[in-house]
Structure formats: structure tokens, C-alpha cells
Amino acid sequence: MAQTSLTLTGARVVTADGVHEGWIRIDDGRVAELGTGDPGAGERYDVGGALVAPGLVDTHVHGGKGHSFPGSSPEGVREIVEFNRAAGVTSLVGGLVAASPEATLRQVETLAELCDEGELAGIYLEGPFIARARCGAHDPDLLRDPDTTEFDAWLAAGRGHVRMITVAPELPGALDLIRAATSSGVVAAVGHTEADYEQTLAAVEAGATVATHLYNAMSPLKHREPGPIAALLGDERVTVELILDNVHVHPGAARLVFDAAGADRVSLVTDAMSATGLGDGEYTLGELRVRVHDGKAHVVETGAIASSTIVLPQAVRNAVALGVPAEDAIRSASSVPATALGLPGIGVVETGAHADLIVLNHDLSVADVMYRGRWVG
């Protein structure tokens, strides 16, 4: 049961400015104060010197526990949320994949209801305005050129909850779609693309500010044809997503991203699918069959890599294994994605923010989770 007021003492709190050593007071589901010394009267909980971090924020996730955001019932979506929340991921943006216009509209409407309830932090559309040659785990028959009329219908159905859309810049109408998204307050991301360096920069100039899972589903980096990777990695206006499951991206390539962009531009995401939390077997992602073996997911028909099966705290631990400082890795999975998508009051530990917190063990496994001032579990 939630406490009206609770002070966590003996804490090393990960904040935007560093690690604060002392205490943190929670009042009515929000962070009320951080301090040192004697916190005064009131109920206390001593965390014994543990790291206390903001609850993690996954802005690119498609499902878990046997359910996926595309096509799931509200009950299924709630199970995805509860599974992630218990693991320390206190905010999710529900990710959709390419579908027919009618199905996409229905899915947006369903997720908007969950956003209204506060279960989701927003809606993300990874398709359908992406390149067939780089479709990955999207059904190529459901892809289409960017259409601002269809986008406007999504906005209406989403009632202000559509937060991000991925676009391939080389497609006809892509720059107009990026401009329309930006002017509507929706983040435009570049991904699933064959764009060259110049086309990618044009997308950034048009307003794109996120790179969809850098490296994956885009033209590779070449020294005479640098393509989207160099353009996105080299532009300080762009936040770059990274699927750090050690399957999608080699650790050496992941380390290069942190070195080149800095942790404050790296957004750790999972791109997780319905198999997450269940194990090997055959599942679906959108309209495609996906087989998971040894935790690695591939599209049955094409063999293409399809989503991950990790939860976000694992990505944080993998980043630390690369040599990234723990507090930087935590920010890459909390404040960086929240800021990139304009999500207020989450992913940070500061006065007035939601009291979404995780208490971490020495090995960075999650010991306790607090959501809106309530202990989870």
C-alpha cells in the first residue's frame, strides 16, 4: 500500500547532475525533496547505500509475456506493462509495426485508451512508412509511401498520445511527413532505410531527431558511402537508439556509439517482442511468424533478425560491461529516452517528478521497484 510520505535513507541517488548521497523523500507519489544529514521525522526506509535510480523508460518495445502491442486486447497490454514494471521499467511507449490502414487505426485507438488510463506513456509507429529493402521484421506487403492524410487520421485516433514515428527519408513524401510530424509535436525518427548520407541529413534538417535502432535495418557504414549511420551518429541534434542485447549489435560497435555520441545521446531500447519473459518457441510479430531459439528471434520465412527478448535493465548491465559508467548507462535508459520523446516527469529523480524509482543491487540487478510512490510486488 502506498505511503503518504516515505523517506529513503542511505541512498546513492542517480540524478541529472551526478550521484547524490543522502536521502530522498516521497510525498503523494512524487519526489518531494533530496537532502543530506538528518531527514527529520517521518517514516523511513534504509536502502543501505544502494543505488536508487529513476524507473527505466523503454520507448521502443513491441511486447512481452506472450502479448504484443499490435493487435493485443487492453488486458494483454496491461500484462506487458505489469511484467515490465515489476522488472524496473516503469514507463513504456507502446510500439506498433506495419499493418493495413484499417488495422493501424484500430491499434492506435486501443493504445490511446491505455494512455488515457496512464498505463502507457505514448504510442510509437515503427511502420508503415519504411523501406521494403530494409523492412526487417515488418511485412513488406504492408509498407507504403508516407501519407500525411493517413498520419492525420492516426493523430485524431491517438488523441495526443502518438509520440514517435519512424520514416525512411528516401521515400516519396518523407520530408513532408517529417515536417508534419514535427509540427504536430510528434518525434520523427529515421530508420529502416536505404537513405544515403545527404538524404539522411535532409531528414534531420526537416526535423527528425531520433535514429531508430542505429545500425539495424539501415545501409551499413562505408568509408566512401557513409550513409545514415555516419549522418545520424555525427549530428548532435539526434538521439540514437541502441538495442544492446549483444545480438543486434556487436559490443565493439556499441562501444563506438557511446564514444562517438556520448551517453547523453544514446537511448537504450529493447525492441522486445511477445516472447520476452517466456523463452524459446514460435510467436508472431504483427503478421509475421517469428521463431526464438537460445533467446534469439528470427522471422521464419526470411531469417531476418526480429526484435529482442531482453528487458531494459539487461541493456544497462550490458552497457556497463562495455565500460560505460553505471550512472551514464542508467540515464541512457531513463532520462535520455524520456527527454527525446518529450515525456515530462519520468526518467528523472528531481523535485516534482513522479516517484518511479528502482533500487539496485551491487550487480545492477533490480532489488525493489517503486511506481508512483507504491512499492511494486
Listed in sequence order, the residues at least 6 apart from 222 whose beta carbon sits closer than 8 Å to its beta carbon are none
Instruction: Judge whether residue 260 has pLDDT over 60.
Output: yes
My answer on whether 219 and 357 are in the same domain is: no
Q: For the chain, how many structural domains are there in total?
A: 2
User: Predicted confidence band at 269 (pLDDT cuts at 50, 70, 90)?
Assistant: very high
The average pLDDT across 289-317 equals: 90
Instruction: Single out the residue of 358, 356, 345, 352 nearest to residue 2, CA to CA.
Output: 356
The predicted structure's pLDDT at residue 136: 87
CA terminus-to-terminus distance, the chain: 10
User: Predicted confidence band at 2 (pLDDT cuts at 50, 70, 90)?
Assistant: very low
User: Predicted confidence band at 272 (pLDDT cuts at 50, 70, 90)?
Assistant: very high
Expressed in percent and rounded to 5, the helix, strand and coil fractions of the chain are 30, 30, 40
Instruction: Single out the residue of 351, 318, 350 nearest to residue 335, CA to CA.
Output: 350
- Please give the grid coordinates belonging to residue 45: 526506509
Evaluate whether residue 35 is within a structural domain.
yes
My answer on whether 86 and 207 are in the same domain is: yes
Say which of 58, 271, 328, 368 is annotated catalytic.
271
Instruction: Judge whether residue 333 has pLDDT over 50.
Output: yes
Evaluate whether residue 264 is within a structural domain.
yes
Alpha helices in 23-147 (DSSP H): 74-87, 101-116
Which CATH number goes with the domain that contains 243?
Answer: 3.20.20.140
Residue with cell 520476452: 276
The predicted structure's pLDDT at residue 71: 79
My answer on whether 85 and 28 are in the same domain is: no
Q: For the chain, what is the mean pLDDT? A: 95
The answer to whether residue 152 is catalytic is no
My answer on whether 234 and 357 are in the same domain is: no
The average pLDDT across 246-251 equals: 96
Listed in sequence order, the residues at least 6 apart from 140 whose beta carbon sits closer than 8 Å to its beta carbon are 132
My answer on whether 83 and 150 are in the same domain is: yes
> How many whole angstroms separate alpha carbon 262 and alpha carbon 247?
22
**What is the biggest distance separating any 2 CA atoms in the chain, rounded to whole angstroms?**
65
User: Predicted confidence band at 1 (pLDDT cuts at 50, 70, 90)?
Assistant: very low
- Tell me which residue range forms the domain holding 80: 56-340
Q: Which helix (H) or strand (E) holds 72?
A: none
Instruction: Judge whether residue 375 has pLDDT over 90.
Output: yes
Query: For the segment 165-209, what is each residue's pLDDT rounded down to a tens digit?
Result: 999 999 999 999 999 999 999 999 999 999 999 999 999 999 999
Query: For the segment 117-158, what is each residue's pLDDT rounded down to a tens digit?
Result: 999 999 999 999 999 999 988 999 999 999 999 999 999 999
Query: For the segment 63-74, what is each residue's pLDDT rounded down to a tens digit?
Result: 999 999 997 799
My answer on whether 48 and 105 are in the same domain is: no
- Please give the grid coordinates belonging to residue 140: 513488406
Q: Model-level pTM? A: 0.96
The average pLDDT across 48-65 equals: 97
User: Predicted confidence band at 302 (pLDDT cuts at 50, 70, 90)?
Assistant: confident
The predicted structure's pLDDT at residue 255: 98
User: Predicted confidence band at 287 (pLDDT cuts at 50, 70, 90)?
Assistant: confident
User: How crowded is residue 358: how many other Cβ atoms within 10 Å of its Cβ?
Assistant: 28
My answer on whether 143 and 16 are in the same domain is: no
User: Predicted confidence band at 306 (pLDDT cuts at 50, 70, 90)?
Assistant: confident
Instruction: Judge whether residue 266 has pLDDT over 60.
Output: yes
Instruction: Judge whether residue 233 has pLDDT over 90.
Output: yes
> How many whole angstroms separate alpha carbon 331 and alpha carbon 57?
10
Evaluate whether residue 345 is within a structural domain.
no
Evaluate whether residue 10 is within a structural domain.
yes
Query: For the segment 206-231, what is each residue's pLDDT rounded down to a tens digit?
Result: 999 999 999 999 999 999 999 999 99
Do residues 203 and 228 touch, judged by C-beta distance below 8 A? Answer: no
